[in-house]
Amino acid sequence: MFDNLSDKLQRVIKNLRGEGKLTAENMEAALREIRVALLEADVHFRVVKQLMESIKEKALGQEVLTSLSPTQQVVKIVYDELVRTLGTHASRLRMANEPPSVIFIVGLQGSGKTTSTGKLARYLSREKHNPLVVSVDVYRPAARHQLAVLARDLKLPIYAGPEGENRPLELARGARREAMQTGKDVVLVDTAGRLHIDDDLMVELQQLKESLNPTEILFVADAMTGQDAIRSAEEFHKRLGITGVVLTKMDGDARGGAALSIRQVTGQPLKFVGVGEKPDAFELFYPDRVASRILGMGDVISLVEKVSQEIDQKKTEEMQRKLLEDDFSLDDFRDQLKQLSKLGSLESLLGMMPKVGPFKELQNAKVDEKELTRVVAIIDSMTPHERRNHMIINGSRRRRIAKGSGTTVQDVNNLLKQYAQARKMMKSFSGSLMGGKMGTMLGKRLGKLKLPFPGNPFS
Ligand SMILES: Nc1nc2c(ncn2[C@@H]2O[C@H](COP(=O)(O)OP(=O)(O)OP(=O)(O)O)[C@@H](O)[C@H]2O)c(=O)[nH]1
Ligand SMILES: [Mg+2]
């Protein structure tokens, strides 16, 4: 489905190529196609309507970057608008002032609640929290057992309740009590799912909410179910007041519409994305990444970057800020490498930066895809915390990361070395950006930088 939407947008964009300027007329045709594409990708019609209006307004209004071609303008405007609709920033979990924080995991049957409960508990314990999980799904015979097995495998503490206890409210309260007694700061409550929203379930959830006063009610939406997920999100929100969304099964050929629409229809932020059945296949929701995915970017971004000699001001500023604030994380490193492979040459990447002339000798530096995949796997196996603080990655973390990414500790060591070199290089790079001295010095430094390329084309 993502492919479908992205294919369509690409076609629209191609059609716009060769047009001199964006006019009401030529935009009209393009907008119509974008509209159909979004609808077909299961974006809710109300959301499409709003999106189209703001896209049109921006395209014809002052915000258009006059230095870009019409093609680039449309891509950029649609992309920006998607990011804006999705929420601009990754949204963190709210925690109670006084622990334990209680988090409900709710949603339709089979959406991925239990799996996500395990994933979230694991995520939280890596973020230095101390979670306790409990299942209050007393209806499906194997449900509590399923969470118990998951908790055992992941070595997570679980509250099982006294023998024979099968009242959801008692189980949840018991878990909170145990959390207080044993110093757990978060209680994750895995709730029962139904095929359809029914009153019994809603009443039960409302009672649970009243009694436990959760800091978060996370609605788990199966991205594969399109409009159904949107409708039930809306209904859950109306009756229960959800505070965030976990979008699961984004590893499949999930539809782009769900993410956009749920955000728009409930007004609540997407917080996490499930990208597989494994416990680690769980990520913070980054609006820009999902917008890229919806648009089939990488591709679209690289299209803009490739065709354009112009500088994307925002990106440049962001990059400069990161360089100056020493905030260039392993996430950024990975994104840069991915970007690099999409662009096909380091020169295009440097082209994004101001005051950097063309480096002819770098033009044909190609990334080794296999190496890149390995690097990405290693970084993906790190926790978000580790990616931001590489200094904490000690021996045992390295072993875990190697295991998680199917590589060796040696590979992880190498990557961290490369990253450290890149940071160093970029730091002096940013220093010279400020000082205005550029060029040969950077070229020399790049020559020393060992990136995951065969035979290091920079040396
Ligand atoms: N591919 C993929 N599968 C997932 C993801 N999240 C959950 N699943 C799978 O979806 C199925 C249902 O997951 P559960 O966690 O049991 O769903 P649930 O909402 O707890 O289901 P009920 O308790 O029956 O309502 C399982 O086979 C999971 O492995 C995901 O992000 N990606
Ligand atoms: Mg379940």
* Exposure on the CB side of residue 440, measured as CA atoms within 13 A: 0
DSSP state of 327: -
CA atoms 317, 320, 325, 330: torsion sign: positive
CB of 118 shorter than 6 A to ligand 1: no
Residues 6+ apart with CB under 8 A from 69: 17, 307, 308
Task: Determine the Cα–Cα distance for residues 456 and 366; give it in Å rounded to an integer.
Answer: 10
**Structural domains of the chain sorted by starting position, each given as residue range(s) with its CATH number in brackets:** 2-86 (1.20.120.140), 101-285 (3.40.50.300), 311-448 (1.10.260.30)
CB of 287 shorter than 6 A to ligand 1: no
Distance 146 CA to ligand 2 centre (A): 7
Task: Determine the Cα–Cα distance for residues 453 and 208; give it in Å rounded to an integer.
Answer: 55
CB of 185 shorter than 6 A to ligand 1: no
CB of 112 shorter than 6 A to ligand 1: yes
* Exposure on the CB side of residue 316, measured as CA atoms within 13 A: 13
Distance 343 CA to ligand 2 centre (A): 42
CB count, 10 Å around CB of 413? 13
CB of 256 shorter than 6 A to ligand 1: no
If one residue of 115, 246, 278 were mutated to test the ligand 1 pocket, choosing by the most ligand atoms within 8 A of its CB, it would be: 115
Q: What is the pLDDT of residue 25?
A: 72
Look up residue 286 and give its two tokens.
Answer: 């980054």
If one residue of 204, 253, 277 were mutated to test the ligand 1 pocket, choosing by the most ligand atoms within 8 A of its CB, it would be: 277
CB of 144 shorter than 6 A to ligand 1: no
Look up residue 116 and give its two tokens.
Answer: 């996500």
Is the distance from CB of 288 to CB of 331 less than 8 angstroms? no
Q: What is the pLDDT of residue 451?
A: 43
Dihedral, CA atoms, 249, 250, 251, 257, nearest 10 degrees?
120
Distance 241 CA to ligand 2 centre (A): 20
Q: What is the pLDDT of residue 87?
A: 85
Phi-psi sector, 14: left (phi>0), alpha (psi -120 to 50), beta: alpha
- Could you tell me the maximum CA-CA distance found in the chain, to the nearest angstrom? 75
- Which atom from ligand 1 is nearest to the alpha carbon of 137? 23
- Which atom from ligand 1 is nearest to the alpha carbon of 275? 31
Distance 156 CA to ligand 2 centre (A): 16
Task: Determine the Cα–Cα distance for residues 98 and 109; give it in Å rounded to an integer.
Answer: 32
Strand order in the sheet with 282-284: 158-159, 131-135, 186-190, 101-107, 216-222, 244-248, 270-274, 282-284
User: Which residue's CA is the nearest one to ligand 1's atom 13?
Assistant: 112
* Exposure on the CB side of residue 424, measured as CA atoms within 13 A: 11
CB of 189 shorter than 6 A to ligand 1: no
- Which atom from ligand 1 is nearest to the alpha carbon of 107? 19
For the CA of 111, the nearest ligand:
1
CB of 115 shorter than 6 A to ligand 1: yes
DSSP state of 360: G
| Inter-axis angle of helices 299-307 and 330-343, nearest 10 | 70
- Residues of the chain below pLDDT 70: 1-22, 26, 29-30, 33, 37, 40-42, 61-73, 75, 253-257, 293-326, 336, 338-369, 425-459
Distance 185 CA to ligand 2 centre (A): 23
Q: Which of 295, 304, 292, 296 is nearest to 67 (CA)?
A: 304
Distance 113 CA to ligand 1 centre (A): 6
- Which atom from ligand 1 is nearest to the alpha carbon of 111? 19
- Which atom from ligand 1 is nearest to the alpha carbon of 273? 31
